[in-house]
């Protein structure tokens, strides 16, 4: 069993990693319950509306809080990978053995990513831009270079970013030669090649190229923590470097921050925030030993894959409608406004899903791929 998929009685585990992974999954589960959509409607025209909109992706050029969730997920996967491979090596598992385990995991990630997003009311559609299919690629790359020297891995990260820039700027495919314009960039062209259609919101499958940097950086951070060499200072320093470079590219007009096509500036800025967030949580939880009130989140983080697939497949396709029908019916008897009933229904859905994680936690059942 993966060391980051076992109960927190393991003295070697990082509670900060469990907490951040759990926090991300709580945010995603609340989105899956449709809570943010209902809150957006409820706060329309009010002062709180701008805050609620932070829980939606930015429409194009710019950055919202929600744009950092997927990079955080992929960064945490890299940290977890480092600890898992370290344990495997200590257990005497060969590189070939670890490769087979990683390849199997990546295969399952790809399978569930395709299956989850393929089913639509109008039929089956191939979609490769979701977090699971992206992670299947980035995890494999991070594994293959995991034992390389740190400078070599940084060069690989730079290479992926430069490759992304070259593809968007210099391929010059007619109709798809505007690198930062939705529906007319190289990523949109590749969607036609890979899936047969262009996503109207601009999401592209080849985001896996630049966002590989997130998972590699996570694995490097995991190695740093295992080495015990000035962890906080190093994370904060590299976070600052990424933020400065990313915002400089954006403000200078060289490369705008666009999450939907994972521009270089977006990749760097989001990585900088991931490093700072993890550095703070690592210091606060694992170094300063502030461990109160973490259980609510770590319970979810320990079964992150299970709950993600649950609210994406079962929740969005059946459970949400069932809960909303019941809650609207009950609260309609006392003339509760529909929007408030919807918010209550979303909170009930989340509560049910959290209890599922708690049920599994109490029975020490931890799903992994």
> Residue 293's pLDDT is what?
87
Q: HEC profile for the chain?
A: CCCCCCCCCCCCCCHHHHHHHHHHHHHHHHHHCCHHHHHHHHCCCCCCHHHHHHHCCCCCECCCHHHHHHHHHHHHHHHHHHHHHHHHHHCCCCHHHHHHHHHHHHHHHHHHHHHHHHEECCEECCCCCCHHHHHHHHHHHHHHCCCCCHHHHHHHHHHHHHHHHHHHHHCCECCECCCCCCCCCHHHHHHHHHHCCCCCCCCCHHHHHHHHHHHHHHHHHHHHHHHCCCHHHHHHHHHHHHHHHHHHHHHCCCCCCECCCCCHHHHHHHHHHHHHHHHHHHHHHHHCCCCCCCHHHHHHHCCHHHHHHHHHHHHHHHHHHHHHHHHHHHHHCCCCCHHHHHHHHHHHHHHHHHHHHHHHHHCCCCCCC
> Residue 7's pLDDT is what?
36
Number of neighbouring beta carbons within 10 Å of residue 134: 27
How many Å apart are CA 211 and CA 64, to the nearest integer?
17
Torsion of CA 116, 119, 124, 125, to 10 degrees: -50
> Residue 229's pLDDT is what?
77
- Name the pLDDT band for 43 (thresholds 50, 70, 90): very high
User: Per the domain annotation, does 10 fall within a domain?
Assistant: no
- Name the pLDDT band for 317 (thresholds 50, 70, 90): confident
- Contact at 8 Å (CB) between 172 and 187? no
User: Per the domain annotation, does 22 fall within a domain?
Assistant: yes
Closest CA to 313 of 122, 32, 109: 32
User: Per the domain annotation, does 175 fall within a domain?
Assistant: yes
Q: What is the pLDDT of residues 155-165, one digit of tens each?
A: 999 999 999 99
For residues 241 and 305, which has the higher predicted lDDT (pLDDT)? Answer: 241
Q: What is the pLDDT of residues 83-125, one digit of tens each?
A: 999 999 999 999 999 999 999 999 999 999 888 887 766 667 7
> Residue 117's pLDDT is what?
80
For residues 4 and 188, which has the higher predicted lDDT (pLDDT)? Answer: 188
Residue 255 CB partners (closer than 8 Å, separation 6+): 165, 180, 249, 263, 264, 265
> Residue 128's pLDDT is what?
85
User: Per the domain annotation, does 101 fall within a domain?
Assistant: yes
pTM value?
A: 0.91
pLDDT at 72 over 90: yes
The total number of structural domains that make up the chain: 1
Q: What is the pLDDT of residues 239-274, one digit of tens each?
A: 999 999 999 999 999 999 999 999 999 999 999 999
User: Per the domain annotation, does 287 fall within a domain?
Assistant: yes
Domain that holds residue 49: 15-362
> Residue 9's pLDDT is what?
37
Q: What value does the mean pLDDT take over residues 206-214?
A: 97
179 half-sphere exposure, CB direction, 13 A CA radius: 17
- Name the pLDDT band for 12 (thresholds 50, 70, 90): low
User: Per the domain annotation, does 183 fall within a domain?
Assistant: yes
User: Per the domain annotation, does 1 fall within a domain?
Assistant: no
How many Å apart are CA 16 and CA 272, to the nearest integer?
17
User: Per the domain annotation, does 369 fall within a domain?
Assistant: no
> Residue 287's pLDDT is what?
92
Q: Could you give the C-alpha distances from 128 to 117, 173, 193, in angstroms and in order?
A: 8, 22, 12
Report the percent of the chain where pLDDT is more than 90: 81
How many Å apart are CA 55 and CA 34, to the nearest integer?
11
Tokens 């391929």 belong to which residue?
A: 171
> Residue 227's pLDDT is what?
86
């Amino acid at each position: 069993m993966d060391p980051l998929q076992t109960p927190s009685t393991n003295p070697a585990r990082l509670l900060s990693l469990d907490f951040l992974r759990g926090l991300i999954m709580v945010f995603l589960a609340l989105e899956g319950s449709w809570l943010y959509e209902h809150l957006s409607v409820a706060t329309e025209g009010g002062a709180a509306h701008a805050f609620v909109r932070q829980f939606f992706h930015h429409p194009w050029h710019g950055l919202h809080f929600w744009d950092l969730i997927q990079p955080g997920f992929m960064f945490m996967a890299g940290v977890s990978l480092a600890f898992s491979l370290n344990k495997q090596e200590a257990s005497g598992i060969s590189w070939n053995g670890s490769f087979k385990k990683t390849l199997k995991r990546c295969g399952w990630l790809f399978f569930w990513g395709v299956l989850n997003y393929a089913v639509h009311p109008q039929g089956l559609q191939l979609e490769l831009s979701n977090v699971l299919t992206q992670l299947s690629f980035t995890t494999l790359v991070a594994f293959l270079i995991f034992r390389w020297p740190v400078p070599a891995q940084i060069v690989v990260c730079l290479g992926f970013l430069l490759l992304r820039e070259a593809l968007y700027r210099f391929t010059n495919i007619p109709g798809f030669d505007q690198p930062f314009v939705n529906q007319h960039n190289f990523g949109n062209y590749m969607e036609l090649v890979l899936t047969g259609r262009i996503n109207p919101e601009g999401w592209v499958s080849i985001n896996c190229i630049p966002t590989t940097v997130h998972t590699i950086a996570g694995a490097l951070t995991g190695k740093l923590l295992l080495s015990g060499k000035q962890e906080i200072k190093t994370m904060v320093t590299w976070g600052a470097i990424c933020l400065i470079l990313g915002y400089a590219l954006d403000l200078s007009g060289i490369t705008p921050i666009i999450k939907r096509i994972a521009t270089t500036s977006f990749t760097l800025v989001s990585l900088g925030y991931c490093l700072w967030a993890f550095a703070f949580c690592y210091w606060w939880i694992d170094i300063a030993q502030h461990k109160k009130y973490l259980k609510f989140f770590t319970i979810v983080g320990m079964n992150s894959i299970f709950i993600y697939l649950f609210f994406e497949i079962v929740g969005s396709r059946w459970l949400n409608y069932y809960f909303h029908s019941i809650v609207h019916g009950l609260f309609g008897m006392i003339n509760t406004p529909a929007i408030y009933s919807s918010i209550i229904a979303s909170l009930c859905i989340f509560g049910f899903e959290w209890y599922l994680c708690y049920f599994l936690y109490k029975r020490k059942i931890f799903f992994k791929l």
